[in-house]
Amino acid sequence: MDQNNNIAEQVLGMARASLADCILRLARYKLGHAVVGDHGEMVIHIFGIMNGLLHRDHALMRQWTDMIFALSSTPVRDKGCINLCLERVVEDGIVRDNLLDAFKTLHRPRLLLKTTMHGAKFATKALKANSSVQSLGIDGTNTTPFKSEKTATALVAAVIKHPSLDIIAIENCNLGRNKPVLSAIIPAVLSNISYIKLDGNVIDSYGATLIANCLAQNPSVKNLSLSNNALVDRDAYKLAASLKTNTTLRNLALEGNNITHAGLKAFFFLVHGDGLNSINDANHHCFIDLLADSEVNAFNDPILNRRVKIFSTIMYDVGCLGDAVPFELVPRLLIILQGREITEDGEPVFNPLNLVFQYVREFNTTLFNQSGMDRDESRSVDDISTGLGCAQLAD
């Protein structure tokens, strides 16, 4: 009994400290003296509030009332917003109603529901209450925020209809163990949200198939994190194949899965290829964290990414030819690469064979005379073509 009382007192003390800190932060934010985060947000972290606790402790209720009033009267700032984090908050009765009333007054808020039993339900109501929400996070550590497919479907409907939501993080919610919930969330979220985190959800081959099918349709998602799930090599093959037709996804995070060298190889050939023709047809848009050391697709500009791959491949082949290659060839290669970037109706037009033949022509003519090499000592076009791997250009 004493132990339970001690735990209750600890929870009450943490709730009081949480509300006191929130009131102080809101006052500073209102005066414009608050120190905000990297994205211009002020974090308001509410911990351990529930109806029963408020009704039993009048001092806590007064704190709660003061905090809700301060939250409801925050000023509109172009370069700032409230990042509201609810941790172990039971969103029912007066707690739910007060929070929703205050939340709907906020300008471009961010919402994080952490370790809350009914987080998905509250998130649905919050999105309906405020049309300017920027981001939504649900961290279900040790809880189950998505109780049923109906709960997931309701949240998805609110996400689809929301005019400004651009970031969603659903983490540690065991989505992979609930196929109906996963099937309801994946297609809709990938098709409507730009930045998505689905880390720590035990997503396996079933989820990978859902995601791959969506990515192949070139949905809206630009950044997708699937870290710390249960993906394996066969899932890497699916995802790599889906990205062949995707020109929207810019970042894919896969750390913490069970993907081996075989899966990495599939991703590498997707974004790089093994010859000039395959490089030209590769994905130049998506940076994959598992390939970070290779720095493939490290630039935001896909045309620049492709140019770097082609140039590095040619320079590797040139290096294999030895000292016969004059130094003067390097700036000529740069000119060739730049000159081949022609566009028609906004689409890049490039024939890697043209590049190789021009490269060989430059290699075997005037550059040798400029470098002091006799023409008789120069290598034949056939030899150079073989050295460049031209026999593999038909991929």
Domains of the chain: 2-301 (3.80.10.10), 307-392 (no CATH)
Out of 49-63, 146-160, 187-201, 295-309, pick the least confident. Answer: 295-309
Which 3-state string (H, E, C) describes 44-113? EEEECCCHHHHHHCHHHHHHHHHHHHHHHCCCCCCCCEEEEEEECCCCCHHHHHHHHHHHCCCCCCEEEE
* pLDDT for residue 165 is more than 90: yes
Residue identified by tokens 């009450």 is 12
Question: Looking at residue 341, what is its pLDDT?
Answer: 46
The residue count of the chain comes to 395
108-159 tens-digit pLDDT: 999 999 987 778 899 999 999 999 999 999 998 867 788 788 999 999 999 9
48 pLDDT higher than 60: yes
Quickly count: other Cβ atoms within 10 Å of residue 16's Cβ: 17
Considering the chain, what is the average pLDDT of its residues? 81
**180 band by pLDDT with thresholds 50, 70 and 90:** very high
Q: Which of the pair, 73 or 147, is modelled with greater confidence?
A: 73
Distance set, CA 188 to CA 203, 212, 271 (Å): 17, 14, 26
For tokens 């917003």, what's the residue? 81
Radius of gyration of the chain (CA): 28
Please report the pLDDT score of residue 387 as a whole number: 40
SS3 221: coil
Q: How far is CA 265 from the centre of its chain?
A: 21
User: What percent of the chain has a predicted confidence (pLDDT) above 90?
Assistant: 51
pLDDT at 1: 55
Q: Cα angle vertex 172, ends 170, 174, to 5°?
A: 95
Tokens (6 digits) for 131: 């049309």
CA–CA separation, 51 and 236 (whole Å):
47
Compute CA distances 202 → 18, 176, 178, 205, whole Å. 32, 5, 10, 10
pLDDT of residue 15: 92
If pLDDT is split at 50, 70 and 90, which confidence band does 331 have?
A: low
Please report, to the nearest 10 degrees, the dihedral formed by the alpha carbons of residues 321, 323, 324, 329 taken in order.
90
User: What pLDDT shows up at residue 228?
Assistant: 97
Q: What is the pTM of this model?
A: 0.79
pLDDT > 70: percent of the chain: 75
Looking at per-residue confidence, does 34 or 311 come out higher?
311
Mapping DSSP to helix (H, G, I), strand (E, B) and coil, where does residue 332 land?
helix
Take residue 159 and report the two structure tokens written for it.
């996400």
Q: Closest Cα to residue 38, out of 79, 84, 67?
A: 79
Phi, psi (5° rounding) for residue 49? Answer: -90, 135
Q: Most confidently modeled of 35-39, 202-206, 280-284, 365-369?
A: 202-206
- Is pLDDT above 80 for 185? yes
Q: Is 38 helix (H, G, I), strand (E, B) or coil?
A: coil
- Predicted pLDDT at 64: 96
Q: How far apart are CA 169 and CA 321, in angstroms?
A: 50
Q: 3-class DSSP state for residue 136?
A: strand
Answer whether 365's CB lies under 8 Å from 386's CB.
no
Q: Of 55, 49, 53, 51, nearest to 67 (Cα)?
A: 49
DSSP 140-200: -TTS-S--SHHHHHHHHHHHHH-SS--EEEEESS-GGG-HHHHHHHHHHHHHH-SEEE-TT
Residues 6+ apart with CB under 8 A from 237: 263, 266
The model's pLDDT over 343-375, given as tens digits with 9 standing for 90+, comes to 444 444 545 445 555 555 544 444 334 444 443
Q: Which residue has tokens 């906020």?
A: 106
**Looking at residue 2, what is its pLDDT?**
61
Sequence-distant (≥ 6) Cβ neighbours of residue 370 within 8 angstroms:
326, 328
Whether residue 277 contacts residue 352, with contact meaning beta carbons closer than 8 Å, is answered with yes
Select, from the ranges 1-5, 53-57, 217-221, 356-360, the one with the highest average predicted confidence (pLDDT). Answer: 217-221
Predicted local distance difference test score (pLDDT) of residue 372: 41
Which amino acid does the sequence have at 378? S
